[in-house]
Structure 1
Amino acid sequence: MHTLNLGILAHVDAGKTSLTERLLYTAGIIDEIGRVDDGNTQTDSLALERQRGITIKSAVVSFALDDVTVNLIDTPGHPDFIAEVERVLNVLDGAVLVVSAVEGVQAQTRVLMRTLQRLRIPTLIFVNKTDRAGARYAQVLRDITERLTPHAVTMGPAVTGLGTRDALSGAYADGDPRLTSRLTDLLTEHDDALLAAYVDDGGALDPARLLAELAAQTERALVHPVYFGSAVTGDGITALTGGIKELLPAAGDDADGPVSGTVFKVERGRAGEKLAWVRMFSGTVRTRDRLEFGQGPGAASEGKVTGIRVFAGGTDVDVPSAGPGQIVKLRGLGDIRIGDAVGDTRAVGTGHHFAPPTLESVVVPVPPASRGELHGALAQLAEQDPLINLRQDDMRKEISVSLYGEVQKEVIQATLADAFGIGVTFRESTTICLERPSGTGSALEIIDKDDNPFLATVGLRVDPAPPGSGVAYRLEVELGSMPYSLMRAVEETVVATLGQGLYGWRVTDCTVTMTHSGYWPRQSHSHAVFDKSMSSTAGDFRNLTPLVLMAALRQAGTTVHEPMHRFRAELPADTLGPLLPALAHLRAVPGPPSVDGSRCVLEGEIPAAGVHALQQRLPGLTRGEGVLETAFASHRPVSGPVPQRSRTDHNPLDRKEYLLHTVRRTGSGGGLA
């Protein structure tokens, strides 16, 4: 048996959970198809998922297609839970992107398709809801080729009975000229040998060769077969399952290689133990194995596997071992986190594929006395979704979380109430900005000079770097000029300190270079034990580095950037006039409108802070006919007053305040705290 890890992705309400139910029913895993509206589907197990009829957490269920074991992963469609989708993308062999035949290509559909293409994930497109009133065929195909991919090929003729319960999606026979003609045009674009064969054969290619090449180019994510049907009636499902089996690639099977996998989900078991969901890429993991895990070389931890569960027959079962291609739940690795590599920690990369959250909100416990319990509960939620990024302000005794949207607040609120018995409210969401250096700055503190109270010499230079490059750390001193532990302390502290710049926002797109270093070697008085007051420790460097770095950053200066979203609004042309002042009020920058008869399309950029307000106001401004798509675009410098964020550190910008918190010296030069 081969294994295929298959993702089902879509814009919210396109019908991907219903498609999951139909695939499980067709495979004999379930005896009755659940309905999202009734809250009885296999993969939506959370109470809030059943109440709202949306997927919030990814779920895995396994079934067989002849000699292929499919691990089907149902993912959220709502943009507020895009982080859950991101983690799933790292473990997929292929995907089915679901498009609604009624609504057509929607905002989230485009975001998902762009990401699937960028990651070269083989993808089939399933146009669902052909049985619904308002379903379209030709227009949806045009939408797919114009707004998703020009390399789409429909695998059957037009749907008959479109928009009724009798809708029927046919399938082309292998030699049907309507299929072979389109395949010839599409596939020869990417294969010169196939084009040469077409010319040599007098303008005809063997249908079997075309189908083999279709599978090869689908595997390389060059083309995207399109199927029509209905998850509710089951129409088109046979053709789709045939495409899944024949056109999507199975996972590798290097069972004897080194253990290598990646963690894409973490949850807690009934006894509170941590369970890591791992996609295995190679090797075999066994119960009682000791495994390394972590994110990159030098960052590995180790733990003993005390239990393994794999997905089979619609559930998960205990097994003594698991191999490549499988998705497993590992028990016993207590410190493991989402994004960790398992086994060979250098082998698996899990880069970010979507923009980070652009909103944050303060979580307020009800009653206030439950603040301590709240922090512990949110820490557990952060294990399951690291991008909520807890931020604790000890001075104000507040905890903030990062968000993609307002629906996330409801989910966190319900989860805290149901799972932990903690009531919370949220303050109004604010935008998360970032800072970029405006120029170059440097600073230096030398041991035993001026008012440096730490036994360390640190010199740092900050230089701006291209947008999107992140933070780089460099050395202009010899690596052996002081012990590695001290070097490492400086580097780690630089990264941590850049979490709050001159205005309190995270600093990015810069290069920090260590220009000077110095320390006092380990020493003691005669016949005495080690004396910390005479010897440099990592603590000296961790305490001094923020002062040096922020002095360099102050000299360089920083510019605060706010997140911007691209928007595309379709609306009646006669409502453009009332919309433009509203956009100006929200600081949006629209481009020239495109008018086609009575319809108008307007594209541009809008600050993330204004997206929610625009979504609320658009229906009233466009008689309910306006359609809005938004997606993160970039960060741009803030115009007007610079927003500041309250600090949660000891404020190294204020030397006196900082030293009061970090230095504990006696008059004779006592040790450091």
Structure 2
Amino acid sequence: MKAYPLDRTRNIGIVAHIDAGKTTTTERVLFYTGRVHKLGSVDEGTATMDWMEQEQERGITITSAATTSFWKDYRINIIDTPGHVDFTVEVERSLKVLDGCVVIFDAVSGVESQSETVWRQADRYRVPRLCYINKMDRLGADFYGTYAEIIERLGAKPVPLQIPIGAEGGFKGMIDLLNERMIVYVDEQGVRFELQDVSDEYKEKVKEWKAKLIEGLGEADEAILEKYISEQAISVEELKAAVRRATVAGKIVPVLCGASARNKGVQPILDAVCDFLPSPLDLPPVKGINPETDQEELRECRPDAPVCALAFKIMSDPFVGKLTFLRIYSGTLTSGAYYQNFNRREKERIGKLVRMHSNKQEIVKEVSCGDIVAAVGLKATRTGETIGAEDHPILLEAMAFPEPVVSLAIEAETKLDQDRLGNALNRLQEEDPSFVVRYNNETAQTIISGMGELHLEVLIERMKREFKVATKVGPPQVAYKETITQALKEVEGKFIQQSGGRGQYGHVVISVEPAERGAGVNFESKVVGGAIPREFIPAVKQGVLEAAAGGVVAGYPVIDLNVTLVDGSYHDVDSSEMAFKIAGSIALKEGVRAGKPVFLEPIMKLEVTVPEEYLGEVIGDLNSRRCKILEMGQRANIKFIVGEVPLGEMFGYATVVRSLTQGRGAYSMEPHAYAQVPGQVAEKIVKSRQSQEAGRS
């Protein structure tokens, strides 16, 4: 394979709300770059990047897929991500390791709820991006309205590089504002297009939007601003250089448009990716912490530097087993070599390195910094962990993943399935950090939790198809949490057992207090004077955390709690780690029961789109579901409603909204926050748990 210098390498993601056209756009990229020789279709289940059977059947992207394409002497590593909120973890971990991204918007629907989510994710990792307003050929397409929403809803600073020629059925192409020329497509597959002078009917529009381009650049680039104020001529080369500087710095977002399904507008996206998004060399050295000194260290993107790589995705392959996707930040990774996992302090051997094209593999001997590759043979490494040269330790910033919001009970149908179920659950947990498995001792059930009904449905189907496990599942349940509302300064936990021979003795005193939302459970020790020997304190912490995870009032995990070990006592002979672990568990449970406990429920950010004639009925139904309506408006000829609603009120809503609108309404929602449940709902939660336990006894 031809070698590509780092300054001609791009690592990008394609992100968007579901059905905005991510995978369709990626398929065109593969076609025009010669990576595939036939256009794939999402609707027909032939899209290259949607390789999973369920993706082809459902017509949605479920897992992020990687490939590499080549365009005008540039190598572009591409990750196509899911748009459904249930699979948002795939977007999160992809953006963590990418240098740039293309955010796609539906020209009819504008900025949708998941568009806002992926934008915030890109903001969090400071990822430079391009905007592509797709589906300009659709009825109701509105480039200018979507452009305005990018400013209003995302708080972005867009700069137009193109405006459309026509819209809906009359969409013919785009006008390149930098060069002031029309791009008009002349064949069905969009391979051939003509560059024409701007026609008279668009000259005023071009003048208006070229001014917006220069004004937007002037706000971000002093050189352009000076020339603009002094009314000096600004060349195309100067404008392009300024667009690149401002985009890489995250000061502006260039905007393009097209209709990917009609094969219009994709080649200019590729040009913009190469011209305006950063190479690995444009970004600052990656920061990490040396685990031996706790000092910050940097790793520069140099092939001869010590190896430093981040594992950002795990995938099971039926032929080679576990694939670990890596972003290499420094050094050169070699097949067959040993590297240190700094999180686990274990040495790992890379058996094989492969470049991925969807689910196909190309074996390579070595890969240098600035690249993305999959490794075979890393048995211990998990998502978010750092590997590198043993004599140059570094820990890169770990990834944070959202809490699951939906749970259900699962059990194997037969004894044979039972043996396979544990393996399947472990493998799926390893792949997906947003999938959580726990055993509820009170109900003797295995509980699986995820980001939504679809998320769990897909995983259960994967167990059946990939792991040959037949299961029985209960109805979906809300993943409630427990917390306290009152602080307690002293809560005792004692575990004393004496039944002949050596006894057990553990005694702890803790304080508990509510923490802010999202804090989890924090434990610290302030024991002084040797009241508890230092070697037993980790056991106390373990007991506290395990008791919190198992729940106290109704078996739901306890969160947002500060626990401080303040005192205790021990016995020279009978004290043990087990005794202090149990004492810690007892104290935590007592503290929660006495701390005026409450339940927290997941609140979802909801967006519903409906024709105007059904608006009243839909709002009435939402009010009955404890929905707090935040905003109502109109896009094209469709009304939209934005609100916050408890997840527990929304099971089965897809059927309801279709029924209320004769199949013409749609909705999307995403996790927003946890909030205290009303008293009557809390009573139902307790009664439901009591009836479950009674049914098991």
Normalised to the residue count of structure 1, the TM-score between the two structures is 0.84
Residue 516 in structure 1 maps to residue 567 in structure 2 = yes
Is the Cα–Cα contact under 8 Å of residues 504 and 576 in structure 2 kept in the other structure? Answer: no
Cα separation, 1, equivalents of 2:63 and 2:25: 17
Residue 303 in structure 1 maps to residue 348 in structure 2 = yes
Residue 184 in structure 1 maps to residue 214 in structure 2 = yes
Question: Given the superposition, is the C-alpha separation of residues 370 and 129 from structure 1 closer, same or farther in structure 2, using an over 3 Å criterion?
Answer: same
Unaligned ranges ≥5, structure 2: 181-205, 282-300
Alignment match, 1:250: 279
**Deviation string for 1:82-137 (max 9, x for gaps)?**
22222212111111112223443333222222322333211111222334455443
Among all aligned residue pairs of Structure 1 and Structure 2, give the percentage whose two residues are the same amino acid.
26
Farther off after superposition, 187-196 or 582-591? 187-196
Q: Secondary structure at the match of 2:66?
A: strand
Cα separation, 2, equivalents of 1:453 and 1:440: 33
Alignment match, 1:222: 251
Q: Secondary structure at the match of 2:165?
A: coil
Alignment match, 2:492: 444
Cα separation, 2, equivalents of 1:422 and 1:518: 49
Residue 163 in structure 1 maps to residue 213 in structure 2 = no
Higher normalized strand content (fraction of residues): 2
User: Aligned to 2:335, which of 261, 266, 287?
Assistant: 287
Cα separation, 2, equivalents of 1:21 and 1:221: 27
User: Aligned to 2:461, which of 414, 417, 425?
Assistant: 414
User: Aligned to 1:14, which of 20, 24, 41?
Assistant: 20
Is the Cα–Cα contact under 8 Å of residues 168 and 236 in structure 1 kept in the other structure? Answer: yes
Alignment match, 2:541: 491
Cα separation, 2, equivalents of 1:313 and 1:600: 38
What is the letter of the counterpart of residue 157 of structure 1?
A: I
Alignment match, 1:545: 584
Aligned pairs for 1:31-50 (under 5 A) are 31-50=37-56
Cα separation, 1, equivalents of 2:462 and 2:638: 43
Question: Given the superposition, is the C-alpha separation of residues 101 and 629 from structure 1 closer, same or farther in structure 2, using an over 3 Å criterion?
Answer: same
Q: In the TM superposition, what is the alpha-carbon distance from 1:576 to its structure 2 partner?
A: 4.5
What is the letter of the counterpart of residue 99 of structure 1?
A: F
Is the Cα–Cα contact under 8 Å of residues 67 and 356 in structure 2 kept in the other structure? Answer: yes
Is the Cα–Cα contact under 8 Å of residues 569 and 626 in structure 1 kept in the other structure? Answer: yes
Question: Given the superposition, is the C-alpha separation of residues 258 and 506 from structure 1 closer, same or farther in structure 2, using an over 3 Å criterion?
Answer: farther
Aligned pairs for 1:113-512 (under 5 A) are 113-160=119-166, 162-163=168-169, 167-174=172-179, 178=208, 180-191=210-221, 195=225, 198-199=228-229, 201-202=230-231, 207-252=236-281, 253-270=301-318, 273-293=321-341, 295=343, 299-311=344-356, 316-343=361-388, 347-352=395-400, 355-367=402-414, 370-393=417-440, 396-441=443-488, 442-445=490-493, 454-477=504-527, 485-503=535-553, 504-512=555-563
Q: In the TM superposition, what is the alpha-carbon distance from 1:57 to its structure 2 partner?
A: 1.2
Cα separation, 2, equivalents of 1:323 and 1:598: 51
Is the Cα–Cα contact under 8 Å of residues 178 and 210 in structure 2 kept in the other structure? Answer: no
Question: Given the superposition, is the C-alpha separation of residues 597 and 208 from structure 1 closer, same or farther in structure 2, using an over 3 Å criterion?
Answer: closer
Alignment match, 1:558: 597
Question: Given the superposition, is the C-alpha separation of residues 327 and 470 from structure 1 closer, same or farther in structure 2, using an over 3 Å criterion?
Answer: same
Q: In the TM superposition, what is the alpha-carbon distance from 1:367 to its structure 2 partner?
A: 4.0
Is the Cα–Cα contact under 8 Å of residues 96 and 125 in structure 2 kept in the other structure? Answer: no
Unaligned ranges ≥5, structure 1: 522-533, 651-673
Q: Secondary structure at the match of 2:213?
A: helix
Is the Cα–Cα contact under 8 Å of residues 183 and 214 in structure 1 kept in the other structure? Answer: no
Is the Cα–Cα contact under 8 Å of residues 404 and 436 in structure 2 kept in the other structure? Answer: no
What is the letter of the counterpart of residue 274 of structure 2?
A: K
RMSD: 3.4
Q: In the TM superposition, what is the alpha-carbon distance from 1:228 to its structure 2 partner?
A: 1.3
**Deviation string for 1:349-385 (max 9, x for gaps)?**
23436x4321111224334762232222122111111
What is the letter of the counterpart of residue 318 of structure 1?
A: I
Cα separation, 1, equivalents of 2:544 and 2:400: 22
Q: Secondary structure at the match of 1:120?
A: coil
Normalised to the residue count of structure 2, the TM-score between the two structures is 0.81
Is the Cα–Cα contact under 8 Å of residues 564 and 608 in structure 1 kept in the other structure? Answer: yes
Cα separation, 2, equivalents of 1:4 and 1:634: 35
User: Aligned to 2:659, which of 620, 634, 653?
Assistant: 620
Alignment match, 1:670: none
**Deviation string for 1:577-631 (max 9, x for gaps)?**
4344422332223358669999765443211122344443234334555453433
What is the letter of the counterpart of residue 74 of structure 1?
A: D
Question: Given the superposition, is the C-alpha separation of residues 169 and 197 from structure 1 closer, same or farther in structure 2, using an over 3 Å criterion?
Answer: closer
Q: Secondary structure at the match of 1:70?
A: strand
Farther off after superposition, 69-78 or 122-131? 122-131
What is the letter of the counterpart of residue 257 of structure 2?
A: F
What is the letter of the counterpart of residue 169 of structure 1?
A: M
Is the Cα–Cα contact under 8 Å of residues 174 and 208 in structure 1 kept in the other structure? Answer: no
Question: Given the superposition, is the C-alpha separation of residues 492 and 91 from structure 1 closer, same or farther in structure 2, using an over 3 Å criterion?
Answer: farther
Q: In the TM superposition, what is the alpha-carbon distance from 1:65 to its structure 2 partner?
A: 2.9
Alignment match, 1:524: none
Cα separation, 2, equivalents of 1:43 and 1:572: 34
Is the Cα–Cα contact under 8 Å of residues 161 and 176 in structure 2 kept in the other structure? Answer: yes
Farther off after superposition, 306-315 or 42-51? 306-315
Is the Cα–Cα contact under 8 Å of residues 62 and 314 in structure 1 kept in the other structure? Answer: no
**Deviation string for 1:515-561 (max 9, x for gaps)?**
1255567xxxxxxxxxxxx3644333323221122222323232211
Q: Secondary structure at the match of 2:550?
A: coil
Q: In the TM superposition, what is the alpha-carbon distance from 1:150 to its structure 2 partner?
A: 4.3
Alignment match, 1:590: 629
**Deviation string for 1:451-506 (max 9, x for gaps)?**
99634443322111222233322221359987765333333443332213322222
Alignment match, 2:289: none
Alignment match, 2:646: 607
